[in-house]
Amino acid sequence: MKTFVSRFKRVGRRVGTGLGLLKPRDVDLYPGSNVGDRVHLRGVVLGGNNSISHDTSITGKVAIGYASTIGHNCVLVGEITIGRYCQVAPYAAAYATNHSTSCLSTYVNKRLFNRELQRHNRIKPVEVGSDVWIGHGAVILPGVTIGNGAVIGASSVVTKPVPAFAIAVGNPARVVGWRFPKEIIALVQELAWWEYGPEELRKIKEVFFLDFVNDVPGTCEVLSKAIVTLKKPC
């Protein structure tokens, strides 16, 4: 987690109004990013060029990778790591903490013993890879890991790890399919296009416009070429 977070730039620009705990000095921490109205951010580290839409709350240790976008009315409570080029649809939530269910009470609010009972909270970090699409209203529970390229269906409740490039839906979320056949998944993982910025990705722009499932005989060759193009030094 530490290594991952340290790769992020603490920078930003354009912010909305009514930002809960965002202090004026914090505004400089998010250059290149858009933050909507009534967004509540505390402890978030952005990779740059992010968008966080209105009425979203992100607290605790949360790291959001380059170009990832968070829809409106989302709730993210860290420790959470989200990779690059992810899209989180409106009303989605991810929590890395459970209240203890084995103590006298699950109540940890400051109104009883001034939050001292929070020491029993159990933090299980949530880790989301890159190019992950999280559907409207999905809930990601503590300790869940979601691999690169995965899709989480609308309103799903994710309780278990979701492998890379799986399509997982339902409550509890189950893998109902895969975005691509196995050999293509392996090549896309090798390509790891999400590690690059838009400028470098222009070199393989045409690959983004292909449909890997329906109309590309020779997809493997196309991807193999893209790997060479993207990885070769300038």
Ligand X SMILES: CC(C)(COP(=O)(O)OP(=O)(O)OC[C@H]1O[C@@H](n2cnc3c(N)ncnc32)[C@H](O)[C@@H]1OP(=O)(O)O)[C@@H](O)C(=O)NCCC(=O)NCCS
Chain residues in the site for ligand X (CB under 6 A):
87, 89, 135-136, 151, 153-156, 167, 169-170, 176
Residue nearest ligand X by beta-carbon distance: 153
Q: Any idea what the Cα angle at residue 157 is, between residues 124 and 143, rounded to 5°?
A: 10
User: Closest distance between ligand X and the C-beta of residue 153, in Å?
Assistant: 3
- How far, CA to CA in Å, does 185 sit from each of 77, 109, 130, 191? 30, 45, 14, 10
Q: What is the DSSP letter of 15?
A: B
User: Closest distance between ligand X and the C-beta of residue 81, in Å?
Assistant: 20
User: Closest distance between ligand X and the C-beta of residue 173, in Å?
Assistant: 8
| Structure tokens belonging to residue 194 | 């999400």
Nearer to ligand X, 51 or 189 (CB): 51
**72 catalytic, yes or no?**
no
Could you tell me which residues are beta bridge partners of residue 82? 64, 128
Residue 188: which region, alpha, beta or left (left: phi > 0; alpha: psi -120 to 50)?
A: alpha
Nearer to ligand X, 98 or 155 (CB): 155
Nearer to ligand X, 65 or 153 (CB): 153
Q: Cβ distance 144 to 161 under 8 Å?
A: yes
From the candidates 40, 54, 72, 99, which is the catalytic residue?
99
Q: Which residues are catalytic?
A: 99
